[in-house]
Amino acid sequence: MFDTLQDRLAATFKNLRGKGRITEADIDTTTREIRRALLEADVALAVVKDFISAIRERAQSAELSGALNPAQQIIKIVNEELINVLGGETRTIRFAKRPPTVILLAGLQGAGKTTLAGKLAYWLKEQGHSPLLVAADLQRPNAVDQLQVVGQRAGVQVFAPEPGSGVGDPVKVARDSIGEAERKLYDVVIVDTAGRLGVDTELMQQASAIRDAVNPDETLFVVNAMIGQDAVNTANAFAEGVGFDGVVLTQLDGDARGGAALSIAKATGKPIMFASNGEKVGDFDLFHPDRMASRILGMGDMLTLIEQAEKTFDAEQSAKAAAKLTSKGGGEFGLSDFLQQMQMVRKMGPLSKIFGMLPGMGEMKDQIAGIDEKEVDRIEAIIHSMTPAERDNPKIIDGSRRARIARGSGVEVSAVNSLVTRFFEARKVMSQLANGKGMPGMPGMPGLPGAAKRPAAKQGKKNKRGKKVSGNPAKRAAAAKGQDQQAVDPAAAFGAGMDQEQLEQAIKDFQLPPGLGKMINNQGK
C-alpha cells in the first residue's frame, strides 16, 4: 500500500546524504517533496499541512544544528512525526472489570465488518479469552450466514437467533446476547452491526439504538483503508452520530495509496487499534504506529517479524536444527531439517511479505514482488522424492539417484542439481553464522566482511608445466586420454567424486539476490 510513498520519501532523503550541513534551501526542498508525496498518497490536506509545519519547525531549530549527520536527523524527525500522525502509541482493548466485555463494530457496508469480527474473535481467543460473535446485522442478505461461516473458521461460537435478510430486531438480538454470554461464561461479546452504502439517518439511528442497548466497553469504527480521504469524512460522521473509541483498518495489504491510514487517526483524534492485512483469519494484529512509520520509511519491521516467528516456529525443532548446524561444521543438518524450517517460514505468510519486513529491502521491491511461491512447492516436491538417507546425507546423491528424484518430483535433473548445490552453500553459511564466525567470504563479492582467499594448498595441484591438475583420479585419467573435462558426470559434484575445481566453480555460480551484496558491504563498513 505504501510503496509509492516509500519510493518518493527514499528519493527525497537520498538527496540529503553526504551533506555536512543542511541549509534553509535544503529544508524547503525536502518539505516540498514530502508534501507532494503525501498529497499523492491521498492524505488529507489538513493533516499534510500540520505534518509539514511540524517537520519544518523542528528542522530549523537548534535540534538539527548540533547533529553529527543532519540527513539522518531529518529522517529521525520525519519518523517521529509519522508516528505522531499515526496515533503515537499502540492501544489495545480495555476490558471490563466485570465480564463480559462488549465490543461494538460499526461502519459502512463493504468495509469488512463481518470478516473482521471473526478475525478479532480469533485474535482474542489466542490471547486466552472466550469470545462470542453476535449476528446483529439483519439487513444485508446472508450476513448472518456469513458470520456463522467466519465464526466456524475462527473456532468461536456465534449467537444468531434471527435468520436475517430483513427479518428480526437487531436491537433485541444485541441485548439478548449479553445474557447469553453471562449464562455460558463468554468473557467478550463482539456485536456485528449493519452498514449502508453511505451515511444515512436510518443507519445512525440503528447503530445508536444498539449502542444504548448493550452499553459497549469499546466501539470500533471499521474502515476500508483503500477509500482514501473519504474515510475521514465517514469517520467524522460516525463520530458525531454514534461515537467510537478506536479505528480498525481493513485491506491494509491492498494497492491503494494509503491516505486513510495516514489521515484518520490525526483527523478524528481516535487511535488506530487494529489492522487487517490479508484474507486468512490470522491476518490481523494490533496496529503499532512506530512499526508502520518504520515500514513507510523503508526501515523494515523487525519486531513484527520476530513476533510472527515466535508464534510460528517450534522452539524444540529450531533448537535441534541449531545444534546440528553448530556441530561438525553443520554436516548433521540435512535436507529434512531444511524442509522443516522452510515449512515453518511459509506459515508466517507469503515470502514477499516476510522479506518486505527486513531493513534495507525497499530498494529490492521489484525482486521481492517477483518471488515465485510455486518455486518453494517444487523444492518441497524434490525433497519429498528423496529417501530418508538421501535427505540426511545429500552427498550420496549420485547420477542415478538424481535422475530418479527428478522423475519422482516432475522436474528436470538440473533443478535437483541446483537445489543440492545451493543447500550445501546455504548450510555452510548458516553453520559459520551459528558458530559466531560471521558472514563467510563469497567469491565474486570483493570487500565482503569476512572474505578471505583460500589457501594455495586447496586451490589444486600443478604439474611441471605450471598447469592445474585435478585431485580427482578419474578426472586425471580422463585428461590423460585427451578427453574433455565435461565428459565427467556432473552428478559427481554431489557425491564423493567431487573435486576442488568443481566445488570452486559451483561456489562462483552461487548468486545472491541483486543488490543484497551491496547492502551487506555497506552495513559492514
108 marked among binding-site residues: yes
Q: Residue 439: its pLDDT value, please?
A: 45
What is the arithmetic mean of pLDDT over 456-467?
46
CB 516 within 8 A of CB 524: no
The domain 313-451+468-525 belongs to what CATH superfamily? Signal recognition particle, SRP54 subunit, M-domain (1.10.260.30)
Instruction: Return d(Cα 49, Cα 118) in angstroms, integer.
Output: 38
pLDDT, position 487: 39
| Residue 113 annotated as binding site | yes
Where in the chain do CATH 3.40.50.300 domains reside?
101-289
234 annotated as ligand-binding = no
CA distance readout (Å), 503 to 33, 55, 413, 459, 487? 51, 55, 19, 10, 17
Q: What is the pLDDT of residues 4-25, one digit of tens each?
A: 777 777 777 777 776 767 778 8
The arithmetic mean of pLDDT across residues 89-106, rounded, is 90
112 marked as part of a ligand binding site: yes
Q: In terms of Cα–Cα distance, which of 191, 83, 221 is closest to 131?
A: 191
Return the pLDDT at 1.
52
Mean of the pLDDT values across residues 22-34?
84
Q: In 10 A of CB 212, how many CB atoms? A: 12
Q: Phi first, then psi: what are they for 7, rounded to 5°?
A: -65, -40
Task: Enumerate the CATH 1.10.260.30 domain ranges in the chain, comma separated.
Answer: 313-451+468-525
Residue 402 marked in a binding site: no
Is 267 annotated in some ligand binding site? no
Answer yes or no: are the C-beta atoms of 206 and 195 closer than 8 Å: no
The CA distance from 472 to 67, in Å, is: 61
pLDDT 10s digits, 210-263: 999 999 999 999 888 777 667 777 888 888 888 888 888 887 766 555 677 677
- Integer Cα distance of 74 and 96 in angstroms: 42
DSSP 158: E
C-alpha R_g of the chain: 29
Per-residue pLDDT at 159: 93
Residues 133, 118: Cα–Cα separation, whole Å: 8
State how far the Cα of 238 lies from the Cα of 207, in Å rounded to an integer: 9
Fold (CATH) for 3-85 = Four Helix Bundle (Hemerythrin (Met), subunit A) (1.20.120)
Statement: 101-289 belongs to CATH 3.40.47.10: no
517 annotated to bind ligand:
no
Instruction: For residue 196, say whether it is annotated as part of any ligand binding site.
Output: yes
Tell which wins on pLDDT, 328 or 13.
Answer: 13
Q: Give 27 or 353, the one with higher predicted confidence.
A: 27
346 is annotated as contributing to ligand binding: no
Which regions of the chain carry the CATH code 1.20.120.140?
3-85
Phi, psi of 446 (to 5 degrees): -65, 145
Beta bridge partners of 158: 133
